[in-house]
Amino acid sequence: MNVLDIINKTKRKIKLSAEEIGALVSGFTDGSIPDYQMASWLMAVCINGLTDDETIALTLAMRDTGEVLDLSCIENTTIDKHSTGGVGDKTSLVIGPIAAACGVCVPKMSGRGLGHTGGTIDKLESISGYDTELPVDRFLSVAKETGFSIISQTEELCPADKKMYALRNSTGTVDSIPLICSSIMSKKLAMNADCILLDVKYGSGAFMKTYEDACKLALLMERVGKAAGKRCRAAVTDMSVPLGNNIGNALEVKEALDILSGRSKGTLYRLCIELAAEMLELAGKGTNEECRTLAAEAVSSGKALDILEKTIALHGGDSRVCRDTSLLPQARFSYEIKAAEDMKITAINSEEIGMTSLMLGAGRVSKDDVIDMSAGIVMNCEVGKRIGEGETIMTLYSTVCSDFTEASQRALSAIEFVKFR
C-alpha cells in the first residue's frame, strides 16, 4: 500500500479505509514506514481531523499491535477507569476500592506523571514496597482476590501508541482530538474490561482547556468504546482548580486514605462518590441513586479501606499506611504561605499550582527525573473561602528543596482574591 497515497488522502480530507489505516499503523510499528512519513500523516490529521469511522479504525489498529488481556478468569463484571489527568487527581485510589467493595472488579493499568500532571503509579510507589510492575498473571490474581489492582502499563500492550505518542510529542501533533482519543482508547480496549468509565477533565490544570473541547473528546471516546462492544461512559469534570487539598505523591495518598477512612467529606469525596456511582451503574448494580448509596456505604462501613489495605499488601507494600499515614514519606522542609491581609479567594490557577509542586520536586520534567515522594502542597484555601490576615493559605513541602522563595512566589501568584474587611 502506497503511504504517500494515504498521506495525500488525509491532506485532502478524503476518507481512509480501515485497511489503509491498519496498514499505516502496523507499518509504522514494525519500522517499515519511517518516522518522517508518519509525522507527515499525523500533521495532516492534526490540521484536518478524522471521521468517527477513521478514529475507530485507528484505535482498533493501534490496539491490535499488541496483546489484548484475557480477563475471563475474573467472574465479576470488570470495569476500567481513565482520567485525562490534572493536578491533585487521586480519584483512582478512592473509587477503585469503593467499586470493588460493591462487587465490581477494577483491574487497571496506569501511567506516570510528566510535567505538572501527576501519575497514579508514582503515587502508589510512595507507599514503601508497593510493586507496580507485577507480572500480568499476578496482577490478575490480585484483582480476582480483592477486586482491585493497579500496575504500570506493560510493554506488550499497544506498542503502536508508545511509538506514535513519542513522535507526536516531538512534532507538535499532540493536540488533536482524534489522536488523543485513539491513544487513550487503544490502551483501554487492550485492557479488555467489560465497562469503561472515562473522566475527561477541562480547565487550567487539564490538557483540554475548555468545556466544549472536553465534551467533544468525551463523546468521541464513548463512540469508540461502544463501537468496540464495550459499555462505555464519559463524565466531564472540572480541573480549573486542584482536585482536593493535597498535591504531591505521598500527600495525595494521605488524602485518599483520609477519604476512605471517613475523615474527609469535602468536594473530592463527593466527586469520588459520583464517579464510583457511575462505575457501578455502568456495571449494572442499580440506578444512579442506588449506586450512590452503595458507594457511600462502602466508605462508611470501612469495606473500601479494607480492600485497599489488602491490595497494597498483595503488591508487597506496607499496608500499615492505611491506618497510620505517618508511615508515608515525610518532607524534611516545609513553608507556610500566610495571608498578608484579609482576603476572599476568587480563583485558583490549577496549572500554576501544579508547576509549583513540580518545582518542589513532586514531578518530573523528563521521564528519567527522580521524584521526591514527600514533596508537594497542602491547600488551606478554596474558591469562595475567606482567609484572615496571618492565616495560612497553603503549606509547601519538600526534601530536596530548602529555599522556598521562588516556589512560594509562584504559588501565591496562582491565587486570585479580593480584599474584605
Cα 262 from Cα 199, distance rounded (Å): 23
* Grid coordinates belonging to 86: 490534572
238 in catalytic set: no
Query: Which residue in the list 63, 81, 82, 90 is annotated as catalytic?
Result: 82
Cα 334 from Cα 375, distance rounded (Å): 9
Query: Which residue in the list 116, 163, 187, 292 is annotated as catalytic?
Result: 187
Question: DSSP character for 112?
Answer: -
Query: Which residue in the list 112, 168, 188, 292 is annotated as catalytic?
Result: 168
Amino acid at 283: A
Place of cell 492565616: 391
82 in catalytic set: yes
Burial class (CB in 10 A: 0-12, 13-18, 19+), 304: buried
Question: DSSP character for 62?
Answer: H
Burial class (CB in 10 A: 0-12, 13-18, 19+), 204: buried
Cα 38 from Cα 177, distance rounded (Å): 17
231 in catalytic set: no
Which residues are CB-neighbours of 330 under 8 A, at least 6 positions away? 250, 374
**Largest alpha-carbon pair distance within the chain?**
72
187 in catalytic set: yes
Query: Which residue in the list 40, 152, 183, 240 is annotated as catalytic?
Result: 183
Query: Which residue in the list 80, 161, 199, 372 is annotated as catalytic?
Result: 161
63 in catalytic set: no
Beta bridge partners of 397: 334, 376
* Catalytic positions: 82, 161, 168, 183, 187
